[in-house]
């Protein structure tokens, strides 16, 4: 696998060797849902960056498309962990609230394009949540409750509140930290803003001049309706 490319599988209950293989051409391939991170870009993985495993996403408003992403994330989370699902719901509510609270400034940012672009699509500039993602550490791949790629590295959220934490979990978290992964613990029912996440999670619209939709290849194809749609198949 190229040193500047990181494959992050997600939505899996456990790890199986062979899910990531290196072909004769030297390129790594993954047989389960995953994203490919370009480390050299030093850019966060945002919702607008594509790489979704959602079949034939329906075109719709920003609210409808964000709901598809949220539903997909919840479907790939641990079905036996209510705290994990609750964390994801709070995260998407957090993203919506930031854009709603900043609606006036975001609309003003669009300037003469405000009648063409929907300011609500700025939600897709938020970091993308990868539930039940696997990251490499000493001893093998470790499953995380939720992973974000911030641009500078991986951030793993450990959702607390289970009645019986997995045996050896403290050791796994220590191995992740030793591998350079930032580990954030999320107490039960904690609000996203209280977790001490990087500024990106509060100011993800900074530097984004035009909103971009999620269901496409990585790029800056603009979100607009009805002339241009962010959804493509």
Is 143 among the domain residues?
yes
Number of domains comprising the chain: 1
Is 49 among the domain residues?
yes
Q: Where residue 221 falls among pLDDT bands split at 50, 70, 90? A: very low
What are the tens digits of pLDDT across the range 37-77?
999 999 999 999 989 988 756 667 899 999 999 999 999 99
Highest mean pLDDT among 50-59, 184-193, 220-229: 184-193
Give the Cβ contact number of residue 148 at 10 Å: 27
Is 185 among the domain residues?
yes
Is 73 among the domain residues?
yes
β-strands 154-159, 182-186 pairing: parallel
What are the tens digits of pLDDT across the range 75-105?
999 998 999 999 999 999 999 999 999 999 9
The residue whose two tokens read 């290849």 is 217
Is 123 among the domain residues?
yes
Question: Residue 88: is it exposed, middle or buried by C-beta count within 10 angstroms (0-12/13-18/19+)?
Answer: buried
Indicate the SS3 state at residue 130: strand
- Asked if pLDDT for residue 226 goes beyond 90, the answer is no
Closest CA to 131 of 91, 102, 178, 189: 91
What are the tens digits of pLDDT across the range 120-153?
999 999 999 999 999 999 999 999 999 999 999 9
Q: By residue range, what is the domain housing residue 164? A: 40-201
Is 210 among the domain residues?
no
For residue 224, give every residue at least 6 positions away whose Cβ sits within 8 Å of its Cβ, in sequence order, or none.
116, 117, 118, 230
Is 9 among the domain residues?
no
- Asked if pLDDT for residue 232 goes beyond 50, the answer is no
Is 160 among the domain residues?
yes
- Asked if pLDDT for residue 223 goes beyond 50, the answer is no
């Amino acid at each position: 696998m190229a040193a500047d490319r990181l494959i992050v599988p997600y939505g899996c209950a456990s790890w199986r060797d062979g899910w990531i293989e290196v072909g004769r051409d030297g390129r790594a391939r993954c047989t389960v849902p995953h994203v490919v991170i370009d480390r050299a870009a030093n850019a966060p993985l945002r919702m607008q960056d594509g790489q979704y495993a959602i079949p034939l996403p329906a075109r719709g408003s920003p609210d409808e498309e964000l709901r598809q992403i949220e539903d997909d994330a919840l479907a790939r989370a641990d079905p036996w962990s209510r705290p994990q699902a609750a964390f994801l719901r709070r995260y998407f509510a957090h993203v919506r609230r930031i854009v709603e609270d900043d609606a006036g400034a975001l609309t003003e940012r669009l300037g003469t394009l405000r009648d063409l672009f929907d300011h609500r699509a700025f939600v897709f500039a938020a970091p993308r949540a990868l539930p039940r993602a696997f990251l490499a550490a000493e001893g093998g791949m470790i499953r995380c409750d939720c992973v974000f790629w911030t641009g500078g590295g991986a951030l793993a959220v450990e959702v607390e509140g289970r009645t019986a934490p997995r045996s050896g979990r403290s050791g796994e978290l220590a191995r992740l930290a030793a591998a350079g992964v930032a580990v954030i613990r999320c107490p039960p029912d904690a609000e996203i803003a209280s977790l001490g996440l990087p500024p990106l999670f509060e100011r993800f619209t900074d530097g984004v001049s035009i909103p971009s939709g999620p269901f496409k290849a990585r790029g800056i194809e603009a979100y607009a309706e009805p002339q241009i749609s962010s959804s493509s198949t």
